[in-house]
Amino acid sequence: MDILLVGCGKMGGAMLRRWLDAMPARFTAVNRSGRALPPGTEHAASVDALAGRRFDAIIIAVKPQQIAEVLPAYTGLLAENGCYVSIAAGYSAASLAGLVGDKPIIRIMPNLPALIGRSVNGLYANTACETRHRELADQLAKTTGTAIWLDDEDELDRLTAVAGSGPGYVFEITRSYIAAAQALGFSKETARKLVLETLGGAIEMATRSDEDVAELRNSVMSKKGTTEAGINALRRDGLLDQLLLDTTRAAYDRAVELR
């Protein structure tokens, strides 16, 4: 199987490394970013270097704002029974079809932990897709983490707001948590270790448990103890719930704008 990757930035490169290790396919990448390609990838300097070739899948991994300019040059490279796979956030299948025609199109919304094989991938296929196209996309997703098939693109945009952008929220919350630990007098190195180990342990415990996370939270608290005091401050006036609601809503609204 021949697969073409158009664009190879941080996310595309992260996923490509996993695909090269797990899939019996030949991957070619058109990469104008200057970023080094993973070993085993065939490099093409431009679309002109691919003249005469046909690919079973063309993976769109450029920024959404670049798609309309970049993608039309590649439409003649898709094999007769091939499909397009887009990992660009927000850019709808209908908008892609406006550029490439009535072709099988699958959108995969990954997140950055694809780097370590822990991506959450939302998938949506248009009506032109057949079983083989969905199976290929499922394999692409599962080599980087989990695959969650969705019924419509609005649901995919909502997943983007929660999971696709989610690692950024987690990193920002972690940064603030580390800063708070430093403010209590710990060195940056110690604060980082304390926070990351605490978060990692708590998330792993929640992942392994069938209990609601609210119950797990309650299991840490004793009446009038230190955790209760901290939780009361964290939840003051419902600001935390509202902040996270505003965060995911803003990301969703932007995904809708990009359609």
Per-domain residue ranges of the chain:
2-163, 166-258
Q: What is the pLDDT of residue 145?
A: 95
Residue 238: which residues within 8 A CB-CB, separation 6 or more? none
The number of residues in the chain equals: 259
pLDDT for 9: 80
- For 103, residues 6+ apart whose C-beta sits below 8 A from its C-beta are 78, 82, 83, 84, 97, 128
Name the nearest CA neighbour of 66 among 114, 141, 12, 3.
12
pLDDT, position 85 = 98
Q: pTM of the entire structure? A: 0.86
Cα–Cα dist 144/23, whole Å: 11
Hey, what are 234's tokens?
A: 């964290």
Q: Can 2-163 and 166-258 be said to share one CATH topology?
A: no
Name the DSSP class of 163.
Answer: I
CATH of domain 166-258: 1.10.3730.10
Nearest-10 crossing angle of helices 166-183, 188-208: 130
- Residue 34: the pLDDT is 60
Residues forming beta bridges with residue 4, ordered by sequence position = 28, 58
Amino acid at residue number 205: M
| Phi, psi (degrees; rounded to nearest 5) at 88 | -85, 130
Nearest of 77, 52, 78 to residue 133 by alpha carbon: 78
Q: Which CATH number fits the domain 2-163, given the four candidates 3.40.50.720, 3.65.10.10, 3.40.50.12160, 3.40.50.150?
A: 3.40.50.720
SS3 label, residue 63:
coil
Cα dihedral sign, 43-49-54-60: positive
Regions of the chain where pLDDT drops below 70: 32-35
